[in-house]
Amino acid sequence: MTTPVPAAVLWDMDGTLVDTEPYWMAAEKPLVESFGGTWSHAQALGMVGLALEDSAALLQNAGVRMSVDEIVAHLTDEVLRQLATTGVPFRPGARELLADLRRAGVKTGLVTMSMRRMALSVVDLIDFPAFDVVVAGDDVERPKPFPDPYLQAAAALGVDIADTVAIEDSPNGLRSAIASGAVSLGIPLMVSLDEVGAHALWPTLEGRTADDLAVLHAAHAAAPTRLETR
């Protein structure tokens, strides 16, 4: 008997669906240096998964004399410029899993703290109708790690958050997913997710299918969080 698929799968974008974290880092360092400051790789890693407004505040602390809105707009423009040059840098297995979910009739949502114009630009570059709903950083009052973005996506899709799987690469994103009540799946990239409390950690999405997410959801839905790694 086939395990029923979840009602929806909710995807983080940067670092989960697409490997754009290096693009953000490449935009941050010259911005800080243009104001005479220095910016280390460790500082850049500390920004992974943060809301853009929080990231902008850290850049201001590093000497960037621009408003939060100006910093967010500048970084977004720089990342979009890199995407326009290179195309969509999907993480291994992400495009294939997303396409398999669509074939299986599973609803999908993109839940990102990037600005909506950037999220829509990435979605427009995907060569099939990938998402039923997009919730971006400028669509929510409280960003990740609050549960609001995932709850908003589930509401927009008309599904119970407990009937969803959320896929994330950052501690803040996983905390948001866990707090919302979704079954949470971590796919580490630049920072460790070992102690965050995800239902499962997979090293990659490569080779994964809608059936794998169905099994994951069935194992953990409405159950206490316990870590599965494989």
Give the C-alpha separation, 57 to 72, whole Å.
10
Give the C-alpha separation, 84 to 39, whole Å.
25
Is the CB of residue 184 less than 8 Å from the CB of residue 219?
A: no
Of 86, 108, 139, the residue that ends a domain is 86
Give the C-alpha separation, 76 to 104, whole Å.
33
Q: Is residue 157 part of a domain?
A: yes
Q: Which domain holds residue 32?
A: 21-86
Model-level pTM? 0.84
Express each pLDDT in 85-123 by its tens digit. 887 789 999 999 999 999 999 999 999 999 999 899 889
Which amino acid, one-letter code, is at 49? Answer: G
Domain check: are 120 and 191 in the same one? Answer: yes
For the record, the structure tokens of 26 come out as 């490449």
Count how many domains the chain has. 2
Express each pLDDT in 153-193 by its tens digit. 999 999 999 999 999 999 999 999 999 999 999 999 988 99
